[in-house]
């Protein structure tokens, strides 16, 4: 079992620092007159209430999300997309140029980008050819300076779930933080790792409102962990990192969970049909199993097909130059008409090959 000790892996300067205390942090309860934050007391040209700073801890939103997710409010953190908690995890636990992280390509590219920004060396352990974790090799790659292991499940760009037992083994064997990124979990028929938060003090789970909830423009990501880890993230985040428009809009949208579930059901039906039609295209060699709202397709010539689709105004994501994804195109499940346009273009491309 992991002998995880949070105080041993938090950067010493973060452990010792006094967090910035913003005006709204310094009192609890209700108030009628606010003269503490140097706001414009006359109002706002943008509308009623926008002259005031938002709740820095997103209290009401945390309570509401916690109830939906089956966790405690103090186990919830909101970030500007999932990228903010990824960045904060590096800043909290990795001393620049000294401490290390492990990622498992092919995977979400921001783990490596944020590592570079924070001057954190990264050790890479490739997934297997069928995009599963090589758990023994990951644990063998752990060094005394390794503080973070990132696991994306469902994975991006392959779309598959990682084996649950493999992730649990990492959590139980590693003395640092295991980050399980579940951005696409709503499209998968599996239980979220948020259910294990109380059991494992070194587990952080990332989710987002960008995918299933359809609120990508609002930039609201979530991190779930035990209170001690969440408190570290709250200590080093920017004071008002989630603006009031995002807080209010997400709060209202949470009342429409049934509609979100209906959208997910429709996307899953469209995904099954898209996979069937992709596999019938002559320029598609195969599609990989997916638990997300996208499909990774192996095609005959990804660079050429990508350019052809762009010329037709159809944008997919080429993963051709990504490890284990040669000739791979990542295709988001679209609306029925959009998928029709894509399939027609792929079939036309196939005809150009036959005629050349």
The partner residues of 249 in beta bridges, in order of sequence, read none
* Residue 159 · residue 288 · CB < 8 Å: yes
- Say if 6-242 and 258-355 have the same CATH topology: no
- Please give the mean pLDDT across all residues of the chain: 95
pLDDT of residue 35: 83
Residue 1: per-residue pLDDT: 67
Query: What's residue 22's pLDDT?
Result: 80
Q: Are β-strands 122-124 and 221-224 bridged in parallel, bridged antiparallel, or unpaired? A: unpaired
Count of alpha carbons within 13 Å of 35, Cβ hemisphere only?
A: 1
* pLDDT for 145: 98
Question: What separation in angstroms does the CA of 283 have from each of 160, 302, 345, 348?
Answer: 23, 9, 11, 10
Per-residue buried b or exposed e for 286-297, using 16+ beta carbons within 10 Å of the residue's own CB: ebbebbbbbbbb
pLDDT at 40: 92
* No. of helices (H) and no. of strands (E), the chain: 12, 11
Structure confidence at residue 27 (pLDDT): 67
pLDDT of residue 355: 64
Residue 301: the pLDDT is 97
**258-355: which CATH architecture?**
Alpha-Beta Complex (3.90)
Q: Determine contact, residues 146/120, Cβ cutoff 8 Å.
A: no
Q: Which residues of the chain have pLDDT under 50?
A: none
Q: How far apart are CA 220 and CA 222, in angstroms?
A: 7
The domain spans of the chain are: 6-242, 258-355
| Predicted TM-score (pTM) of this structure | 0.95
Cβ-based burial of 152 (10 A; exposed 0-12, middle 13-18, buried ≥19): buried
| pLDDT confidence of residue 300 | 97
Tokens of 17: 């620092």
Rounded-to-integer distance, Cα 349 and Cα 307, Å? 11
List alpha helices for the chain, DSSP H. Answer: 6-9, 12-16, 59-69, 83-93, 110-117, 135-141, 164-173, 227-236, 244-253, 257-279, 302-311, 336-355
CATH architecture of 6-242: 3-Layer(aba) Sandwich (3.40)
Q: Per-residue b/e over 326-337, b at no fewer than 16 CB within 10 Å?
A: ebbbbbbbbeee
Chain-centre distance for alpha carbon 266: 22
The torsion defined by the Cα of 200, 206, 209 and 214, in degrees rounded to 10, comes to -120
């Amino acid at each position: 079992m992991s002998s995880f000790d949070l105080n041993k892996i938090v950067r010493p300067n973060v452990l010792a620092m006094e967090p910035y205390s913003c005006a709204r942090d310094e009192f609890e309860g209700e108030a009628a007159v606010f003269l503490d934050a140097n706001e414009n007391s006359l109002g706002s040209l943008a509308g009623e209430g926008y002259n005031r700073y938002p709740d820095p801890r997103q209290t009401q939103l945390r309570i509401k999300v916690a109830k939906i997710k089956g966790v405690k409010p103090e186990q919830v953190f909101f970030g500007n997309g999932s990228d903010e908690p990824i960045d904060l995890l590096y800043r909290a636990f990795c001393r620049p140029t000294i401490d290390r992280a492990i990622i498992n390509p092919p995977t979400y590219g921001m783990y490596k980008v944020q590592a570079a920004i924070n001057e954190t060396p990264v050790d890479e352990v490739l997934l297997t050819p069928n995009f599963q974790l090589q758990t023994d090799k990951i644990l063998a790659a752990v060094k005394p300076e390794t503080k973070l292991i990132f696991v994306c499940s469902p994975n991006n760009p392959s779309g598959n779930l990682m084996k649950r037992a493999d992730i649990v083994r990492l959590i139980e064997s590693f003395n640092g933080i295991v980050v399980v990124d579940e951005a696409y979990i709503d499209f998968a028929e599996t239980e979220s790792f948020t259910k294990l938060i109380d059991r494992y003090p070194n587990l952080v789970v990332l989710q987002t409102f960008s995918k299933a909830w359809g609120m990508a423009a609002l930039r609201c990501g979530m991190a779930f962990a035990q209170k001690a880890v969440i408190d570290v993230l709250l200590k080093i985040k920017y004071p008002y990192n989630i603006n009031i428009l995002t807080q209010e809009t997400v709060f209202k949208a949470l009342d429409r969970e049934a509609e979100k579930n209906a959208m997910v059901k429709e996307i899953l039906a469209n995904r099954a049909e898209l996979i069937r039609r992709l596999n019938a295209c002559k320029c598609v060699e195969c599609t990989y199993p997916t638990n997300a709202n996208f499909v990774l397709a192996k095609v005959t010539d990804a660079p050429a097909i990508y350019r052809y689709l762009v010329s037709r105004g159809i944008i997919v994501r080429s993963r051709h130059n990504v490890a284990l994804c040669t000739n791979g195109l990542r295709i988001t499940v679209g609306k029925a008409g959009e998928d029709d346009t894509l399939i027609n273009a792929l079939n036309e491309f196939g005809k150009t090959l036959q005629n050349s």
